[in-house]
Amino acid sequence: PYIFKSVHHFVEKYNLTDAAFHRFLQEQLLITTQNTISDSPFLTAAMGLAYPSDTYYPVGGMYKPAELLFESFKASGGEVKFKKRVKAINKTKTGYSIRLENGEEFHVKNVISNIPIWNMVEMTDGKIKKYFEEKSKLFNFSWGAFTVNFGIESKEELDSLYYQIHTNEKIPHSDSNSFFVSFSHIDDRQRAPEGSRSVTISLHTNVKNWINLSTEEYNQKKEMTTSTILSHFDINFPQFKNSEKLHLLSGTPKTFQFYTGRSNGFVGGIPHSVSKNLLKMPSNISPFDGLYLVGDTVFPGQGTPAVVLGALNIVNEILN
């Protein structure tokens, strides 16, 4: 039943009126369920609110766990082809044909697709295309991200490597009154040289903020969002105020779209929602023989743990 009741329902029921607590919930839910108090299901919100207390640090950065998976896959006889964009997935008499952008074609019995449902519409046809069109129509929204990355000199310990900074006003061209900051560990030599740390900042933005702009408008918006974030960073981390921000880079949904190929630059997956609840999400086992789906646009939704759980569902299904 907690999938069908919002956090708002319980906030009202237990008369949780404290403004600061309300604000805390709102911003924490945005980075965990990708939704707000009024539409976040209580079940996923409860998991989301408990989640930051159990955050581990991968030495070398977030690509390290992916690298371990890659090594393990290779050791089991798997082959990974990098920089090969899939253009079409079509049903054949014996399974599926996969056509790549460079013209290469593969014929396979089964497909496990990690490609977002919105992209699947463009690369399939017939009944399969219709299925992804219907799902994309229902789940037609996902957030975009604005990111800022840089290096700083840092010799002292920090209380935590992870912070959510709350701001009184919305950050320009975003949909957030907060941003998330992660620092590399002081001893992580793979992320930064001795005496330095790398800093990653991200926040939610509607992808519509970044489309149909001239280059000049785009650069102006990007500059304004970056400088506002950095001024809040300096206020909240005065110990780094005089440290030069090295290798400063900002990214918008356009950047994500360019590098990942994800439709519209939608990242972070489908928001958890009472109205479009978990049970309506595309299943990991598609209605089409031999076509399986993983990733943050299918059950059980967004975030690395959920994506892994979806993958385990498929492993169990195939092995059984």
Ligand X SMILES: Cc1cc2nc3c(=O)[nH]c(=O)nc-3n(C[C@H](O)[C@H](O)[C@H](O)COP(=O)(O)OP(=O)(O)OC[C@H]3O[C@@H](n4cnc5c(N)ncnc54)[C@H](O)[C@@H]3O)c2cc1C
Enumerate binding residues for ligand X (CB under 6 A): 85-86, 114-115, 119, 145, 147, 202, 260-262, 267-269, 295-296, 302-305, 307
Name the residue nearer to ligand X (CB basis): 121 or 192.
Answer: 121
CB of 195 to ligand X, least distance (A): 26
Nearest to 281 by CA among 132, 175, 124: 132
Name the residue nearer to ligand X (CB basis): 3 or 161.
Answer: 161
**Plot region of 287 (φ>0 → left; ψ -120 to 50 → alpha; else → beta):** alpha
Name the residue nearer to ligand X (CB basis): 41 or 253.
Answer: 253
Name the residue nearer to ligand X (CB basis): 6 or 119.
Answer: 119
Tokens of 245: 């921000």
Name the residue nearer to ligand X (CB basis): 41 or 295.
Answer: 295
Name the residue nearer to ligand X (CB basis): 176 or 302.
Answer: 302
What does the alpha-carbon distance between residue 174 and residue 224 come to, in Å, rounded to a whole number? 11
* C-alpha distance across the termini of the chain, in Å: 30
Cα-to-chain-centroid distance, residue 114 = 13
> Could you tell me the CA-to-CA distances from 231 to 55, 102, 222 in Å, in that order?
27, 45, 14
CB of 293 to ligand X, least distance (A): 10
What does the alpha-carbon distance between residue 314 and residue 316 come to, in Å, rounded to a whole number? 5
Buried-exposed string 51-82: b where 16+ CB fall within 10 A, e elsewhere = beeeeeeeeebeeeeeeeeeeeeeeeeeeeee
CB of 146 to ligand X, least distance (A): 9
Which residue number places its CB atom closest to ligand X?
A: 295
CB of 35 to ligand X, least distance (A): 14
Name the residue nearer to ligand X (CB basis): 26 or 182.
Answer: 182
CB of 220 to ligand X, least distance (A): 22
CB of 202 to ligand X, least distance (A): 4
Provide CB contacts within 8 A for 171, sequence distance 6+. 146, 177, 179, 203, 225, 228, 229, 232
CB of 28 to ligand X, least distance (A): 12
H or E segment and range at residue 242: none
Counting Cα atoms < 13 Å in the Cβ hemisphere of 199 gives: 28
